[in-house]
Amino acid sequence: MLTLETVNELTLRVTCKGGDILYTKAGAFIAGDNMGQKNYTFEKVLLGPQQGFAQAALGSLMRRAAGENLPLMKVTFRGDSVTYYADYSQHVVVYKLEMGESISVESENLLAFTQDCKYGVRFLGQGIMSQKGMATTELIGQGPNAYVAITTNGNPIVLSNYHTGNTITVDPDAVICWMGQRGTCDPSITTDFNWKTLIGQASGESYSFEWYGNQRVTVVIQPTERRGGIRVAVD
């Protein structure tokens, strides 16, 4: 069994009791601690963590086509140990998914996840999205030990409307991920085009993601924006 937690904001600590499997961004391992000889091994994941060659190959093809492909490493534990992972001093956030709960995250911000998470890519079907495009990496909780670790550029901000029912509005290029029940928590895309936009007087915030009060969601954003801005696409 694995337990994931953040250490000093910038490092992921994974504690293993017995044996288990972890998937991480390739090259993220920085240190390990166990009694006796090292009891964990690393293996590059060529296609994906899905069971079966055909399913893994299809998943890999979809991720590449969507621009959401992430080089993965499989860590196999064969005893008690503590290992550490990081990604260029970025801040680390750990989230534990409930059964059936999903997290949609930019692939570049995904650091690690346990095998109780179903991993794949989902197309959002919107005409206007952030510079990452029209797809998102999705993980769904399928067991009692469904941990996900993500990275942010700077200290993250967490917004939630579970208790308030408020509308949440964010800049798409600052979004790291959002969590909620699958199929009910995808954002709406709002635009603010008017005559000022046509004469070069745009506010610089013409697009946004919005979640309304009836969409129970938790959103994680970072205090910096991705370069490249919004990309216009046709469904």
Mapped to the 3 state alphabet, what secondary structure does the chain carry?
A: CEEEEEECCCEEEEEECCCEEEEEECCCEEEEECCCCCCEEEEEECCCCCCCHHHHHHHHHHHHHHCCCCCEEEEEECCCEEEEECCCCCEEEEEECCCCEEEEECHHHEEEEECCEEEEEEECCCCEECCCCCEEEEEEECCCCCEEEEEECCCCEEEECCCCCCCEEECHHHEEEEEEECCCCCCEEEECCCHHHHCCCCCCCCEEEEECCCCCCEEEECCCCCCCCCEECCC
User: Does 178 fall in a domain?
Assistant: yes
User: Does 152 fall in a domain?
Assistant: yes
Could you report the per-residue pLDDT of 65-111, keeping only the tens digit for each? 444 457 899 999 999 999 999 999 999 999 999 998 999 998 889 99
For the ranges 19-23, 83-87, 186-190, the lowest mean pLDDT is seen at: 186-190
pLDDT range class, residue 205, cuts 50, 70, 90: low
User: Does 34 fall in a domain?
Assistant: yes
User: Does 235 fall in a domain?
Assistant: no
Q: Is the predicted pLDDT of residue 28 greater than 80, yes or no?
A: yes
| Lookup: tokens for 18 | 């017995």
SS3 string, 14-34, reads EEECCCEEEEEECCCEEEEEC
Q: What is the residue range of 165's domain?
A: 2-229
Residue that has been written with the tokens 């600590």 in this structure: 13
Query: What pTM was computed for the model?
Result: 0.79
Nearest to 41 by CA among 59, 49, 54, 29: 29
- Number of structural domains in the chain: 1
pLDDT of 201: 47
Higher local confidence (pLDDT), 150 or 232: 150
CA distance 160 to 219: 6
Torsion of CA 44, 49, 51, 53, to 10 degrees: -50
Which CATH number fits the domain that encloses residue 83? Answer: 3.60.160.10
Share of the chain above pLDDT 90, in %: 56
User: Does 109 fall in a domain?
Assistant: yes
User: Does 107 fall in a domain?
Assistant: yes
Q: Are 220 and 163 in contact (CB under 8 A)?
A: no
User: Does 156 fall in a domain?
Assistant: yes
109 - beta bridge partners?
Answer: none
User: Does 234 fall in a domain?
Assistant: no
CA distance 162 to 140: 19
